[in-house]
């Protein structure tokens, strides 16, 4: 049954990346005092489809949900965990979930360039259509801890930037991390517009005095900056209007000869 209150929803597909996202989401649920809701999408089949196929789909879904739940419980954190099977393509099913969620979380090992043109790509669908913030958690197969490094946050003059900054500072405090404030204005002479940055960041610096903030010039946009920075970024926080950049920020599946990518929080309001 669906949770009667907002929850932090995690899409579970049986992958290690999805379980990693569920573990990442535990802190999100605890900080909001809401349940962690693990869901698995069962494909819609034609009415003439074999009953055995449906049964196998359900059994598989129950198995991967039990495994994810066990991994979360093994962390020893005080969080209420709910599990549910939903029907339909994963992207569409999670968009529906997002209407009553505080956040949607997905795991990813990377996104191929072609993914943006494949109908039904779950990550892209959620980034562009969800009704709540969407976290795409980059899973590093080498075992590197994704919870270390900067929280990189876009800073600009758009109407939605306050929501981006609010979410970014919240994540920084929750994860005891510093903020890399990516000023994306286009200015001359290579100077960071400190007056503009101070004005935009002032409210949040006052509200979160324990969070260290470092300004950074990102003239070419967040995706280009993140692809070239030597800093370790654990999470990039961007606006829903920048969802087109998600594939570039998360990075390719095989990152041996490119930038390693990072997790992304798309702030959809």
Query: Beta-carbon neighbour count of residue 217 at 10 Å?
Result: 16
Q: At what angle do helices 16-32 and 51-73 cross, to 10 degrees?
A: 60
Q: What local confidence, expressed as pLDDT, does residue 184 receive?
A: 82
Cα separation, 159 vs 114, whole angstroms: 31
Q: What is the pTM of this model?
A: 0.90
CA 112 to chain centre: 17
Three-class SS state of 217: strand
Q: What local confidence, expressed as pLDDT, does residue 264 receive?
A: 96
Cα separation, 106 vs 102, whole angstroms: 14
CA 240 to chain centre: 12
Q: Are the C-beta atoms of residues 36 and 72 closer than 8 Å to each other?
A: yes
Sorted by sequence, the CB contacts under 8 Å of residue 186 that are 6+ apart come out as 219
pLDDT in tens, 124-154: 889 889 999 999 999 875 555 556 799 999 9
Tokens at 78, concatenated: 């005080």
Three-class SS state of 135: strand
In this prediction, the residues of the chain whose per-residue pLDDT falls under 50 are: 1, 3, 118-120, 189
Q: What local confidence, expressed as pLDDT, does residue 173 receive?
A: 97
Q: What local confidence, expressed as pLDDT, does residue 260 receive?
A: 77
Q: What local confidence, expressed as pLDDT, does residue 217 receive?
A: 84
Domains of the chain (ranges, CATH numbers):
7-137 (3.40.50.620), 150-267 (3.40.50.620)
């Amino acid at each position: 049954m669906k949770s009667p209150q907002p929850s932090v929803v995690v899409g579970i597909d049986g992958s290690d990346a999805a379980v990693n996202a569920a573990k990442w989401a535990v802190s999100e649920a605890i900080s909001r005092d809401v349940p962690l809701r693990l869901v698995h999408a069962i494909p819609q089949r034609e009415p003439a489809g074999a009953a055995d196929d449906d049964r196998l789909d359900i059994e598989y879904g129950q198995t991967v949900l039990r495994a994810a739940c066990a991994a979360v419980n093994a962390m020893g954190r005080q969080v209420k965990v709910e599990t549910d099977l939903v029907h339909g393509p994963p992207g569409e099913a999670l968009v529906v979930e997002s209407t009553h969620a505080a956040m949607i979380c997905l795991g990813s090992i990377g996104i191929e360039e072609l993914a943006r043109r494949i109908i039904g790509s779950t990550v892209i669908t959620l980034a562009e259509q969800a009704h709540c913030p969407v976290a795409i958690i980059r899973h590093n197969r080498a075992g590197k801890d994704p919870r270390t490094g900067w929280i990189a946050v876009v800073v600009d003059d758009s109407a939605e930037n306050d929501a981006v900054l609010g979410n970014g500072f919240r994540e920084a405090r929750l994860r005891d991390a510093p903020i890399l404030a990516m000023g994306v204005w286009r200015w001359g002479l290579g100077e960071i517009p400190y007056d503009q940055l101070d004005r935009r960041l002032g409210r949040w610096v006052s509200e979160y005095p324990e969070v260290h903030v470092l300004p950074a010039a990102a003239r070419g946009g967040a995706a280009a900056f993140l692809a070239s920075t030597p800093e370790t970024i654990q999470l990039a926080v961007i606006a829903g209007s920048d969802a087109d950049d998600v594939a570039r920020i998360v990075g390719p599946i095989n990152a041996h000869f490119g930038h390693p990518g990072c997790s992304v929080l798309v702030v959809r309001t």
